[in-house]
């Protein structure tokens, strides 16, 4: 058995796979201020679900924002190649990956051989991420889980000038005071998120070839899914467990890469 641990800024994920790269167990937990604790908690929960002990895991690879917090792993790898490896394993032939998490977003182009070719990433602010949606839901007086469904009722989405988390609250309050419907505000925000992440990829020369896979926690939001498909005018595929793709990739690398440098690497300008 092998394990991959993805320590994100908001959630930590762990996946356990067998020799055939089949997922035996997975866990998603909230990342605590102590990233080491978050990673270990996710791994311990996955081990418990798999009825395995730590000694039964041959190798562990860590990835994600807090990957270097875990000292008792065999390797740490960048999240871009882990997202790519895990997504390609789930969807052979995928050409574009859109991943929006709690506090960052990324777009990855995959070449015909299934390797990451180039990427664009926003990891400096929470604009257009899960955190932003949490603020949106709170100001609108909605549960985060309901935000997407509510937005689908929109007839006239609002025009949103910014998806900056700092300014979102005041802009939403202003729209509410103008009598705008909650569903129109939510829908407008989802389209703003879609345009932001798609433009980020375009700026990195990503062409959005199909098939396109949308992963990360925000992929649970049907309103954002619809907005991305409408803006791209292309269908996107949602994994059954969209938050675990990087942890899955890390676990696969744990099996594949016993020694030496990782087989995959990628830079923003596409040079491997």
Rounded Cα distance between 29 and 3, Å, is: 16
Q: What is the mean pLDDT of the chain?
A: 87
Strands 116-122 and 105-110 come out as antiparallel
Q: Where are the alpha helices (DSSP H) in 124-256?
A: 130-140, 147-151, 165-177, 182-203, 222-232, 245-256
- How many Cβ atoms are within 10 Å of 60's Cβ, its own excluded? 23
pLDDT at 259 over 50: no
pLDDT tier for residue 258 given thresholds of 50, 70 and 90: low
Sheet holding 236-237, edge to edge: 116-122, 105-110, 96-100, 212-215, 236-237
Q: Do domains 1-91+243-272 and 93-238 have the same CATH topology?
A: yes
Whether the CB-CB separation of 31 and 66 falls below 8 Å is answered with: yes
CATH fold, domain 1-91+243-272, is Nucleotidyltransferase; domain 5 (3.30.420)
pLDDT at 149 over 90: yes
Contacts of 222 (CB under 8 A, 6+ apart): 148, 149, 152
* Rg for the chain, CA atoms, rounded: 19
Encode pLDDT of 15-28 as tens digits. Answer: 999 999 999 999 99
- Per-residue pLDDT at 183: 95
| pTM for the model | 0.87
Percent of the chain residues topping a pLDDT of 70: 91
- Per-residue pLDDT at 37: 79
Encode pLDDT of 73-103 as tens digits. Answer: 888 999 999 999 999 999 999 999 999 987 7
> Which of 78-87, 121-130, 192-201, 248-257 has the weakest average pLDDT?
121-130
Encode pLDDT of 24-79 as tens digits. Answer: 999 999 877 776 778 889 999 999 999 999 889 999 999 988 777 777 888 899 99
Terminal Cα distance for the chain, rounded: 29
The residues spanned by each domain of the chain are 1-91+243-272, 93-238
| CATH class for the region spanning 93-238 | alpha beta
pLDDT tier for residue 159 given thresholds of 50, 70 and 90: confident
């Amino acid at each position: 058995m092998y394990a991959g641990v993805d320590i994100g800024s908001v959630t930590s994920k762990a996946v356990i796979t067998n020799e055939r790269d089949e997922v035996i167990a997975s866990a998603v937990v909230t990342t605590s201020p102590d990233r080491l604790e978050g990673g270990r908690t996710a791994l311990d929960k996955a081990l418990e679900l798999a009825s395995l002990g730590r000694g039964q895991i041959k190798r562990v690879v860590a990835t994600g924002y807090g990957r270097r917090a875990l000292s008792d792993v065999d390797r740490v790898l960048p999240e871009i190649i882990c997202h790519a490896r895990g997504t390609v394993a789930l969807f052979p032939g995928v050409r574009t990956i859109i991943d929006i998490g709690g506090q960052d977003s990324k777009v990855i182009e995959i070449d015909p051989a299934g390797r990451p070719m180039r990427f664009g990433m926003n990891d400096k602010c929470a604009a257009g991420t899960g955190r932003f949606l949490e603020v949106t839901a709170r100001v609108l007086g909605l549960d985060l889980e309901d935000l997407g469904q509510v937005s689908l009722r929109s007839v006239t989405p609002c025009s949103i000038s910014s998806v900056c988390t700092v300014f979102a609250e005041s802009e939403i309050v202003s729209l509410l005071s103008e009598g705008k419907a909650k569903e129109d505000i939510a829908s407008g925000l989802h389209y703003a998120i879609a345009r932001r992440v798609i433009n980020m990829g375009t700026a990195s020369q990503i062409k959005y070839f199909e098939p396109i896979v949308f992963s990360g926690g925000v992929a649970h939001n049907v309103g954002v899914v619809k907005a991305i498909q409408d803006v791209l005018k292309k269908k996107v595929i949602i994994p059954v467990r969209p938050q675990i793709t990087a942890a899955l990739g890390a676990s696969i690398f744990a099996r594949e890469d016993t020694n030496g440098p990782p087989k995959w690497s990628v830079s923003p300008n596409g040079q491997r």
